[in-house]
């Protein structure tokens, strides 16, 4: 699998995705521990063919989807994206999945999130980026808080699993609240 260093951090980098990534994506989306915090991945059937179609569509539409690569080993560990990009009001939604569970709780989620926010705020010139996270996903909530997202509200009982109902927590971050982790560094180098 060929990956390319588009946005580089200390632990990981973000690369465009390619069709060959589909096999890993299929494995992850069929892993219930990864899929349950995500959403429809838990109950929809994600086959290899479907994942290939999804990635082909991303490439065709030039969607803002990146794979997350461990810098040290060059291993693909997950993916993240900005979607529903609104050019008029300069806002977008954010989503992330670290499918390789051996990388959980090691700061990769926080760093990958900062890298894609840098891309969103400083290259797409967005002003507001929002996400939704299920109330049972404390790892996710903590990860986003540490990056600078703030809770702005909840959609109550919007997730039903068995006989339990959970809220979706909405969180956002503004451009003025974010400090560049990579783009500024490259710009400073360019301008001497």
Ligand X SMILES: CC(C)(COP(=O)(O)OP(=O)(O)OC[C@H]1O[C@@H](n2cnc3c(N)ncnc32)[C@H](O)[C@@H]1OP(=O)(O)O)[C@@H](O)C(=O)NCCC(=O)NCCS
**CB 192, min distance to ligand X, A:** 34
By CB under 6 A, tell whether 139 contacts ligand X. Answer: yes
| Number of residues in contact with ligand X under rule CB under 6 A | 22
By the 8 A CB rule, do 82 and 64 touch?
yes
By CB under 6 A, tell whether 140 contacts ligand X. Answer: yes
Q: Which of residues 23-42 bind ligand X (CB under 6 A)?
A: 34, 37-38
Structure-block tokens of residue 144:
């986003």
Residue 28 or 186 with smaller CB distance to ligand X: 28
Structure letter (DSSP) for residue 39: S
Q: CA-CA distance, 32 to 43, in Å (whole number)?
A: 9
Phi, psi of 46 (to 5 degrees): -100, 100
| Contacting residue, 143, 168, 169, 173, with ligand X by CB under 6 A | 143
Q: Which residue is nearest to ligand X, using beta carbons? A: 109
Residue 26 or 97 with smaller CB distance to ligand X: 97
By CB under 6 A, tell whether 138 contacts ligand X. Answer: yes
156 three-class SS: strand
Q: CA-CA distance, 64 to 24, in Å (whole number)?
A: 19
Q: CA-CA distance, 149 to 154, in Å (whole number)?
A: 14
Q: Which of residues 59-118 bind ligand X (CB under 6 A)?
A: 78, 96-98, 104-110
Residue 91 or 109 with smaller CB distance to ligand X: 109
Structure-block tokens of residue 46:
């994600």
**In 87-149, beta strands by DSSP E:** 91-98, 128-134
**CB 99, min distance to ligand X, A:** 7
Contacting residues toward ligand X, per CB under 6 A: 34, 37-38, 78, 96-98, 104-110, 133, 137-140, 142-143, 146
């Amino acid at each position: 699998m060929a990956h390319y260093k588009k946005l580089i951090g200390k632990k990981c980098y973000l690369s465009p995705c390619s069709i060959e990534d589909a096999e890993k994506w299929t494995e992850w989306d069929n892993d219930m521990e990864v899929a349950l915090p995500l959403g429809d991945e838990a109950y929809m059937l994600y086959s290899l063919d479907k994942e290939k179609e999804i990635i082909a569509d991303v490439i065709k539409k030039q969607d803002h989807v990146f794979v997350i690569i461990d810098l040290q080993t060059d291993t693909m560990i997950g993916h993240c994206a900005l979607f529903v990009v609104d050019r008029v009001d300069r806002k977008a939604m954010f989503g992330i999945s670290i499918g390789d569970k051996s990388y959980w709780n090691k700061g990769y989620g926080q760093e990958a999130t900062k890298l894609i926010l840098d891309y969103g705020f400083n290259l797409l010139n967005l002003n507001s980026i929002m996400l939704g996270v299920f109330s049972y996903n404390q790892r996710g909530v903590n990860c986003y808080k540490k990056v600078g997202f703030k809770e702005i509200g909840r959609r109550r009982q919007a997730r039903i699993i068995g006989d339990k109902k959970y809220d979706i927590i909405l969180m956002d971050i503004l451009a003025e609240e974010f400090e560049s982790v990579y783009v500024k560094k490259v710009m400073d180098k360019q301008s001497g």
